[in-house]
Amino acid sequence: MSPGLFPRSEDGIRPAASDALSISVDGKTVDGLAGQTIAGVLLGSGRLAWRKTSSDGSPRGVFCGIGVCFDCIVEVNGIRDVRACQRRARDGDQVISQHDPLPEVTE
Amino acid sequence: MTSDVVIVGAGIVGAACARLLARSGLRVLVLDQGAGAGGTSSHGEGNILVSDKGPGAELALAQHASSLWPGTADELSNELGANFPSIEFDRKGGLVVATTDTGAAPLIAFAETQREVGVDARMLDIAEARELEPSISDTITAAIFYPEDAQVQPVIATEALLASARLAGADVRTGIRVTGAVRNGAGDIVGVRTDAGDISAAAVLVAAGPWSGEVSRSLGAAVPILPRRGMVLVTTRMTHRIFHKVYDGDYVGAVSSSDADLQTSSVVESTASGTVLIGSSRQQVGFDDRLQVRVLQELAAKALRLFPFLAEASLMRSYGGFRPYMPDHLPVIGRDHRVEGLWHASGHEGAGIGLSLATAEIIAAQMTGTKPALDAAPFRLDRPTLARYLAEDVPA
Amino acid sequence: MTSVVIIGAGPAGLAAARAARARQAAVTLLDSSDEVGGQYWRHLPAERPAERESLLHHGWSTFLELREALEADPGCDIVTSAQVWAIERDANDSPVVHVLVGEPDGTDRSQLILTPDALVLATGAHDRTLPFPGWQLPGVFSAGAAQALAKGERVAVGRRVVVAGAGPFLLPVAAALAQTGARVVGVFEASRVRGLMAGWLPQPHKLMGVAGKTGELAGYLLSHLHHRIPYRTGHAVVAAHGTDRVESVTVARVNADWSPIPGTERRIRADAVCVSHGFTPRLELAIAAGCNISADRFVTVDAAQRSTVPTVFAAGEITGIGGVDAALAEGTLAGHCAAGGSPTDPTVARHEKKRAVYVDFAARLERAHGIRRGWTAWLKNDTTICRCEDVSYETIRTTTEATCAVGLRSVKLTTRAGLGICQGRMCGRTLEDLAGRSAPGGLIDRVSTDRRPIAAPVRLGDLARAHDATAAIPTDSL
């Protein structure tokens, strides 16, 4: 019951073999294919959510898939607010899921 | 139906005046050509500052206003109940720093003059400044801390004052444009003409911010208020790393300057939602609200001088608003000496949010015949520094 | 030689580029993606070739032909990974296009400032998804996401997928899911058959005249038959359930106004739900360029696809939702006219004619599938409206009631809805709808959530670097 990469062997469009890559996601190694976006790698590996919302920490992942909603943002190699659905994964990318708690109000 | 006072403008100054006047028992009608809190009040940072003002009438007004905000914030919260969002009054304090060697001495001297008139302006050494703001640039050369500096969320504050005014009996009508004055045989103003018909009133108070020039002209008694454009940048939400209002010391120069060209100085602070606001520019370009990239670039460059870590922060929104600019840098508060029935509460430039409560107090005192808490003479329209701007405007 | 900058390399932008090149204009074609084709021809990257990729697409040969022609053409500069983040207007109201080129959302991107003789906007549209309880759960996607991930990644968003919303676009989405190994357990179209008939049937010849479109729809219907996907009209997903992810959805029959009919709810187990209720054109750059936007929220254009700004042209979904054939025709006319041609030139007569066929496609789409007022009946107090800032329906209602707000700016700033990182792209139109209903007499401040002077996030370091670079040049040489 999760998202996933369509197995090449079953795919009617007959994909050629692609190079493998791996990225680190919150310290864990996740394997993907060259040319996938970071969201593609994450969803392809069965992950549905990675960001936590600021207000209550509830999980979020891809929503719009085309770079418009910014729900899927991650930190990549130290740079925050990167849309996982837009950024191609590169072998060795260090991805950290984002959670920005609201500042405590000083009153 | 006749009102005692028609207030033109449902921004924060009009709202604060409406609240106090309605509470003193006057029948108040607020008119706005757009929606409430839709103009200058929704296009700034919500500053309640003493740090940016040198000794003089405006600083006295600011100090008094600053003393009014905590009580008013409590009153509004109690009065409006839990469904009304908090106005986010936060006395977070301001840290003014110099970023150059030549900038340090003037900043320290300026703070000294402020201290003489009772401003809490604490000179910090660099280590102390970094304790307050650990992420600040290590190139700062001087730092003054102003614990009194505060902020509110300006739109919520305006809406709250309007809501409170309504509870006190004021009527707020939006989407109505004032087109002229209704006058009696003696030439006194006894109401306003609007695109929704004539409205009679014993007094008309112009509180239309940068549009006050236009409104007062349409009423036949022009006041030399011009729009001065200001831009603020908003970043995406980030980890909380900026804890006070932090200014580059040349803010002081830009505020009091009359130069029409672009001027920027850096004002950086976090908001309750985790974004960072970066202000602000001042530019006289009429009511032209087109984006200018060079303004964004200059604001960004100056913000990085204060907080280098912001280089990786993302700008997601900018807003440009118009500040009501007075040629002598003081607001106009009180009756118009030229026309009976006309009053003004305008020209606060970028300080209207903070000054609104004190302005309203003066107006309410004068209209109800009591003595204001502070000397209002410097804000009179017939002050000498305005004489040459008013000379051409002969009341009809 | 006329210089033409085209923003967006989907069908409209590609067609515009070719037409402008046919008139010898110097063309710069910008797209934020690292591949051309837009959302319609979203495809696998070069690193992942597939022998029969054409199976996933309609008009694939048209795309390949356009791409090859433009790539081989030295007079067409294709700049991919090019994010237009602002358009300024100079003293003559001509557009100044600010572009960041580099990895999406990266730092230290290179910066281009373009001042073309003519600008063609072909920025397309994105899904509009109405909020419903649970739509913020992982596993709820826009329909466009499901399609983009299927076509561009070969990723299926789930195994048991529900597709819902309104409009003919739901069909290709379901087909793409099925072709990616997902089981589509149902497509739920909120419009009722009668509504569809009212929209499509009065002028069937017009639809029939649109050969490509009919063929395309027929293809999807065949695909549905092949994959045995149930298609229900007059039904909507009114809630998604689960704790940390979608586990099931509630589907209900809806009235003609889309309000759910009590007692008709049923739960369907699903691990993904893909929802779209129509499209929102991406208007921010057109607004920044000063183009007039019509009452129905599209860029106003004349027969030459020229906007109300003389040097700015527009084509594709931002001038009306018309689909790929309309986009190709409009793009061709826009590129041709931007390069100095006339819409009555015989060379573009074919496209002119084709465009005319689609001229009221958007209106018919709206009649048949347009969002109906009763949808708010499926909202609960705690339903998220603004996904970025987690603003609930209740907050928006109680705040607007408390403030008596009649201005959208006030609604946004008092609730924080629409102020988050997506800048109201997801909730903006919904917010306008909800706030407009609670304001007596509607909203009066004419603030549009489509207006975003900063069209994409830009790193402050990139801005500051540009400032320092400019400052280093003596001003008299600028």
Range name among B88-97, B284-293, C427-436 with the lowest pLDDT average: B284-293
Q: In which domain, by residue range, is A24 found?
A: 20-97
Mean pLDDT, to the nearest integer, of C224-243? 88
Mean pLDDT, to the nearest integer, of B292-321? 94
Q: Which of C59-73, C200-214, C364-378 tops mean pLDDT? A: C59-73
Q: What is the pLDDT of residue C348?
A: 96
For chain C, what's the residue count?
A: 478
Is pLDDT at C196 greater than 70 in this prediction?
Answer: no
Residues C477 and C379: their CA atoms lie apart, in Å, by 59
Whether C108 contacts chain B with CB within 8 A = no
Q: What is the pLDDT of residue C102?
A: 97
Whether B147 contacts chain A with CB within 8 A = no
Residues C99 and C36: their CA atoms lie apart, in Å, by 17
Nearest CA in chain A to C426: A69
* Contact call for B90 and A100, based on CB within 8 A: no
Residues B78 and C436: their CA atoms lie apart, in Å, by 28
Compare CB distances from B240 to A80, A103, A107 and report the shortest one's residue: A103
B234: Cα separation from own chain's centroid = 19
Q: Which residues contact B382 (CB under 8 A, 6 or more apart)?
A: B337, B390
Cα–Cα separations (whole angstroms), residue B296 to B278, B394, C15, C170, C227? 10, 41, 34, 41, 53
- N-to-C CA span, chain B: 26
Residues B256 and B250: their CA atoms lie apart, in Å, by 10
Residue A54 domain-assigned?
yes
Residues C58 and C306: their CA atoms lie apart, in Å, by 28
* Contact call for C467 and B300, based on CB within 8 A: yes
Nearest CA in chain C to A51: C138
Task: pLDDT band for B255, please (50, 70, 90 cuts).
Answer: low
Tokens of C149: 């991930």
Q: What are phi and psi of C377, to 5 degrees?
A: -65, -20
Q: Between helices C211-227 and C170-178, what is the axis angle to 10°?
A: 40
Residue A13 domain-assigned?
no
Is pLDDT at C204 greater than 60 in this prediction?
Answer: no
Residue A10 domain-assigned?
no
Mean pLDDT, to the nearest integer, of B350-365? 97
DSSP state, residue C45: -
Query: Rounded mean pLDDT of chain B?
Result: 93
**Interfacial A residues in 48-67 facing B (CB < 8 Å):** 54
Output B126-134 pairs: Cβ under 8 A, ≥24 positions apart: B129/B95, B129/B97, B132/B93, B132/B95, B132/B243, B132/B244, B133/B95, B133/B242, B133/B243, B133/B244, B133/B246, B134/B241
Residues B158 and B72: their CA atoms lie apart, in Å, by 12
Whether B176 contacts chain C with CB within 8 A = no
* Contact call for C157 and A49, based on CB within 8 A: no
Q: How far is C461 from chain A (nearest CA, A)?
A: 12
Nearest CA in chain B to A104: B272
Nearest CA in chain C to B309: C461
* Contact call for A68 and C157, based on CB within 8 A: no
pLDDT digits (tens, 9 = 90+) for B129-147: 999 999 999 999 999 999 9
By the 8 A CB rule, do A11 and C153 touch? Answer: no
Residue A47 domain-assigned?
yes
Report which of residues B15 and C323 the model is more confident about. B15
Compare CB distances from B163 to C403, C409, C441 and report the shortest one's residue: C403
* Contact call for A106 and B90, based on CB within 8 A: yes
Which chains have at least 3 CB atom pairs separated by less than 8 Å from chain C?
A, B
Q: How far is C43 from chain B (nearest CA, A)?
A: 29
Residues B99 and C217: their CA atoms lie apart, in Å, by 65
Residue A102 domain-assigned?
no
Residues B132 and B124: their CA atoms lie apart, in Å, by 10
B58: Cα separation from own chain's centroid = 12
Is pLDDT at B350 greater than 60 in this prediction?
Answer: yes
Residue A107 domain-assigned?
no
Q: How far is B369 from chain C (nearest CA, A)?
A: 31
pLDDT digits (tens, 9 = 90+) for C250-274: 999 999 999 999 999 999 999 999 9
Whether B70 contacts chain A with CB within 8 A = no
Residues C292 and B182: their CA atoms lie apart, in Å, by 37
Provide the 3-class DSSP secondary structure of residue C320. coil
Residue A81 domain-assigned?
yes
Q: What are phi and psi of C243, to 5 degrees?
A: -95, -65
Whether B371 contacts chain A with CB within 8 A = no
Q: How far is B10 from chain A (nearest CA, A)?
A: 28
Mean pLDDT, to the nearest integer, of C235-246? 97
Angle made by CA atoms B117, B119, B120, in degrees to the nearest 5: 140
Q: What are phi and psi of C27, to 5 degrees?
A: -110, 135
Whether A31 contacts chain B with CB within 8 A = no
Which chains have at least 3 CB atom pairs separated by less than 8 Å from chain A?
B, C
Q: What is the pLDDT of residue B262?
A: 63
User: In terms of C-beta density within 10 A (0-12 exposed, 13-18 middle, 19 or more buried), how is residue B82 classed?
Assistant: exposed
Q: Which residues contact C147 (CB under 8 A, 6 or more apart)?
A: A65, C39, C42, C172, C173, C176, C177
pLDDT digits (tens, 9 = 90+) for B365-385: 999 999 999 999 999 999 999
Is pLDDT at B260 greater than 90 in this prediction?
Answer: no
Residues C229 and C216: their CA atoms lie apart, in Å, by 17
Range name among A40-54, B50-64, B93-107, B113-127 with the lowest pLDDT average: B93-107
C57: Cα separation from own chain's centroid = 18
Residues B172 and B29: their CA atoms lie apart, in Å, by 6
Which residue type, as a one-letter code, is found at position C388?
A: C
Residues C173 and C224: their CA atoms lie apart, in Å, by 11
Compare CB distances from C158 to A3, A44, A64 and report the shortest one's residue: A3
Q: How far is C340 from chain A (nearest CA, A)?
A: 33
Angle made by CA atoms C159, C164, C166, in degrees to the nearest 5: 150
Cα–Cα separations (whole angstroms), residue B356 to B12, B47, B373, C459? 6, 11, 14, 35
Q: What are phi and psi of C179, to 5 degrees?
A: -75, -5
Which chains have at least 3 CB atom pairs separated by less than 8 Å from chain B?
A, C
> Comparing C-alpha atoms, which of B116, B10, B100, B96 is closest to residue B52?
B96
* Contact call for C398 and B83, based on CB within 8 A: yes
> Which alpha helices (DSSP H) does chain B contain, by range?
12-23, 57-80, 101-116, 126-132, 154-167, 212-218, 251-255, 293-306, 352-368, 387-390
**Interfacial C residues in 207-266 facing A (CB < 8 Å):** 244-245
Compare CB distances from C52 to A7, A14, A59 and report the shortest one's residue: A14
**CATH code for the domain in which residue A59 is found:** 3.10.20.440
Is pLDDT at C474 greater than 80 in this prediction?
Answer: no
Mean pLDDT, to the nearest integer, of C106-135? 97
Cα–Cα separations (whole angstroms), residue A69 to A66, B88, C53, C376? 8, 28, 28, 22
Residues B231 and B291: their CA atoms lie apart, in Å, by 9
Compare CB distances from B297 to C401, C445, C463 and report the shortest one's residue: C463
Compare CB distances from A13 to C52, C105, C127 and report the shortest one's residue: C52
Report which of residues B284 and C101 the model is more confident about. C101
Compare CB distances from A63 to C46, C180, C387 and report the shortest one's residue: C387
Residues C6 and B144: their CA atoms lie apart, in Å, by 51
Compare CB distances from C460 to B37, B85, B303 and report the shortest one's residue: B303
Strands annotated E in C291-357: 312-314
pLDDT digits (tens, 9 = 90+) for B188-212: 999 999 999 999 999 999 999 999 9
- N-to-C CA span, chain A: 46
Report which of residues C374 and C361 the model is more confident about. C374
Whether B89 contacts chain A with CB within 8 A = yes
Task: pLDDT band for C206, please (50, 70, 90 cuts).
Answer: very low
Residues B155 and B183: their CA atoms lie apart, in Å, by 34
Whether C271 contacts chain A with CB within 8 A = yes
Cα–Cα separations (whole angstroms), residue C59 to B36, B172, C54, C65, C326? 51, 58, 8, 10, 13
Q: How far is A20 from chain B (nearest CA, A)?
A: 30
ipTM: 0.97
Q: What is the pLDDT of residue C195?
A: 62
Q: Which residues contact B146 (CB under 8 A, 6 or more apart)?
A: B49, B50, B51, B93, B94, B95, B96, B119, B120, B121, B122
Task: pLDDT band for C441, please (50, 70, 90 cuts).
Answer: confident
Residue A32 domain-assigned?
yes
Is pLDDT at B114 greater than 60 in this prediction?
Answer: yes
Is pLDDT at C198 greater than 60 in this prediction?
Answer: no
Q: What are phi and psi of B122, to 5 degrees?
A: -100, 120
Compare CB distances from B35 to C445, C458, C468 and report the shortest one's residue: C445
Is pLDDT at C456 greater than 50 in this prediction?
Answer: yes
- B153 CB neighbours in chain C (<8 A) are 413
* Contact call for C46 and A85, based on CB within 8 A: no
Query: Rounded mean pLDDT of chain C?
Result: 91
Residues C124 and C38: their CA atoms lie apart, in Å, by 8
Q: Which residues contact C139 (CB under 8 A, 6 or more apart)?
A: A48, C157, C158, C240, C242, C245, C246, C271, C272, C273
**Interfacial C residues in 426-465 facing B (CB < 8 Å):** 441, 443-445, 447, 452-454, 457-461, 463-464
* Contact call for B90 and A80, based on CB within 8 A: no
Tokens of B195: 């695109």
- N-to-C CA span, chain C: 23
Sign of the dihedral through C-alpha C148, C151, C154, C159: positive
Is pLDDT at A93 greater than 50 in this prediction?
Answer: yes
Q: How many distinct structural domains can be found in chain A?
A: 1
Compare CB distances from A81 to C146, C160, C457 and report the shortest one's residue: C457
* Contact call for C155 and A40, based on CB within 8 A: yes
Provide the 3-class DSSP secondary structure of residue C358. coil
Compare CB distances from A66 to C47, C53, C145 and report the shortest one's residue: C145
Residues C414 and C416: their CA atoms lie apart, in Å, by 6
**Interfacial A residues in 58-87 facing C (CB < 8 Å):** 58-71, 73, 79, 81-83, 85-87
Residues C351 and C451: their CA atoms lie apart, in Å, by 31
Instruction: Indicate which of A74, A77, A81, A82 best probes the interface with B, i.e. most B CBs within 10 Å of its own CB.
Output: A81
Which residue, chain included where needed, has tokens 């003002």?
B53
Count CA atoms closer than 13 A to B163's CA, side-chain side. 25
Whether B298 contacts chain C with CB within 8 A = yes
Q: What is the pLDDT of residue C473?
A: 45
Mean pLDDT, to the nearest integer, of C93-99? 96
Range name among B47-56, C17-26, C385-394 with the lowest pLDDT average: B47-56
